[in-house]
Amino acid sequence: MIPLLLIIPLVFALLSVLLPRLPIKAIAIPGLVLQLIASIQLSVHTYKHGASDYALGSWEAPLGIALHANGFTVTLLTLTAFIAIVCAVYALIYLKRYEHEQRYFWPLFWFLLASLNGIWLSGDLFNLYVGLELLTFSAVGMVALTANKASLQAAIRYLFAALLGSLGYLAGVALLYGQYGTLAIQEIALIGTSDAPTQVALALMTVGLLMKTAIFPLHYWLPPAHGGALAPVSALLSALVVKASFYILAVLWLQLAPDAISPAAAQVLGALGAGAILWGSWCAFRQPDIKMLVAYSTVAQLGYLMFVFPLSIGTNAAAAELAWQGTVLHLLAHAFAKSAMFLSVGTLVLAIGHQGIKDLAGVSHRVPLALFAFGLSAVSLMGLPPSGGFNAKWLLLQSALSSGQWWWFIFILGGGLLTAAYIFRVFSVSFIEEARHKFAPTHWLLDVSALTLAAAAILLGFVSQWPLTLMELVPGVRS
């Protein structure tokens, strides 16, 4: 069952390269449904029987490559399949205006999904590198799709940053292989020590992955890439792509070699997260362009992910567990809310024909559903109840209290207020009665897809137990 999640996207990627335009669009949704079914099945299997390993080619690690499915990975697989299917529905409508681009959107889309699934499942350090490169290439290609000067520049910047990050990661892999003679994460987790090569390897890999996750101050490439891409692309990039490198970072720090990590290093990562929240929010507040505002919001929201390290390393077990749960919920809630936000903003821009915040005047009357989806996702981003974002922040706050680290408490709370500040800039304009521009009608499915994701972000507040129950099946992270 596990390899199906690799085979389905790869097969559809190849078909999308080969087939003419119409069948490509026709097969997209059935393929995504297949993928969703496969990931739900795997989740159920994992829930019933616990984590499972899969030796590719019948070769056991360390000689072969092992895939590994646990509660965390199946959550991410299902998240990916779900967001992908909604974004695909949106893209089918949205890309009608981009005759040329959509011919190349779909192969890249499928390769992106293949690499994401590959990364969630992989248990091998080098295989993760190849997966990361596949992910980068497809993401960069999607950013460059429109091939105008700005998007090309954003794509080049993104590519260079990501390549530098990959090399940092690969250098770490080289040192670890020299040190342990194996690439299997589970093997190194068993024999890992805290000697110099291991620490240096982790440092190099961490910097590389921070670059790819766009954590402040290495975030410079993200806003033009995410803000400049086509709406469904931005949604995929912000919801899923940056989470892949964070996932690897979390696996390295919490599973691969927890002994080699010092609490001081964890505090540094937390400080970067705090910096991301402050700087990202400030920049979002100052953006004249709505898409750039949402992109900078991603920079800020990624900062919360970094708090898992100071809250779970060198603290008590209860605080660590709360931090981990809060982080997973934040990852999910942000994925739903941010993809919803990019999609709804895409619809708004489509309706108005402009993307300045000032141009949004009058949208509350003319494009109410898209604005409603934007509002719902904003509720989760700000961390207001009831929403997945609220539960996530609540757990993180409790963890900060439980571990006696009041300083993170301030940033977690303050981040919500800052989010509110830049979100209300949008609302204050959108409720102005007088419209500045003519409105073009938009397809109803665009609104439905954005609303679906926004609703998911809110609903997550009611069913937070589901992912958290699955999370208890993750070995090794509950220190």
Residues 287-346 that bind other proteins (CB under 8 A): none
> Residue 110 or residue 304: which is nearer to other proteins going by CB?
110
String of b and e for 321-331 (b: at least 16 CB within 10 Å)? bbbbbbbbbbb
Instruction: Please report whether residue 191 would count as binding other proteins according to CB under 8 A.
Output: yes
C-alpha–C-alpha distance, residues 20 and 288, integer Å: 40
C-alpha–C-alpha distance, residues 119 and 127, integer Å: 8
Nearest one of 324, 325, 329, 373 to 348, comparing CA atoms: 373
Return the SS3 of 201.
helix
> Residue 211 or residue 382: which is nearer to other proteins going by CB?
211
Piece in contact with other proteins (CB under 8 A), picked from 146-154, 255-263, 275-283, 325-333? 146-154
Instruction: Please report whether residue 443 would count as binding other proteins according to CB under 8 A.
Output: no
> Residue 160 or residue 407: which is nearer to other proteins going by CB?
160
Piece in contact with other proteins (CB under 8 A), picked from 36-44, 160-168, 299-307, 428-436? 160-168
> Residue 7 or residue 44: which is nearer to other proteins going by CB?
7
- With tokens 């891409």, the residue in question is 229
Instruction: Please report whether residue 390 would count as binding other proteins according to CB under 8 A.
Output: no
Nearest one of 336, 344, 342 to 367, comparing CA atoms: 344
Piece in contact with other proteins (CB under 8 A), picked from 39-47, 76-84, 141-149, 471-479? 141-149
Piece in contact with other proteins (CB under 8 A), picked from 142-150, 378-386, 395-403, 453-461? 142-150
- Report the run of H or E that residue 66 belongs to, with start and end: strand 66-69
Instruction: Please report whether residue 109 would count as binding other proteins according to CB under 8 A.
Output: no
- Smallest gap from Cβ 119 to other proteins, in A, equals 10
Kindly write out the interface string for residues 41-80 of this chain, putting x where it contacts other proteins by CB under 8 A and - elsewhere: -------------xxxxxx--xxxx---------------
Piece in contact with other proteins (CB under 8 A), picked from 22-30, 32-40, 109-117, 390-398? 109-117
**Contacts of range 12-17, beta carbons closer than 8 Å, 24 or more positions apart:** 12/110, 13/107, 13/110, 13/111, 13/114, 16/106, 16/107, 16/109, 16/110, 17/107
User: Would you say the C-alpha torsion 118, 335, 446, 418 has a positive or negative sign?
Assistant: negative
Binding other proteins (rule: CB under 8 A), the pick from 34, 164, 397, 401 is 164
Instruction: Please report whether residue 220 would count as binding other proteins according to CB under 8 A.
Output: no
Instruction: Please report whether residue 14 would count as binding other proteins according to CB under 8 A.
Output: yes
Binding other proteins (rule: CB under 8 A), the pick from 103, 365, 436, 443 is 103
- Which tokens go with 94? 């949205």
C-alpha–C-alpha distance, residues 54 and 57, integer Å: 9
| Cβ atoms of residues 464 and 329 within 8 Å | yes
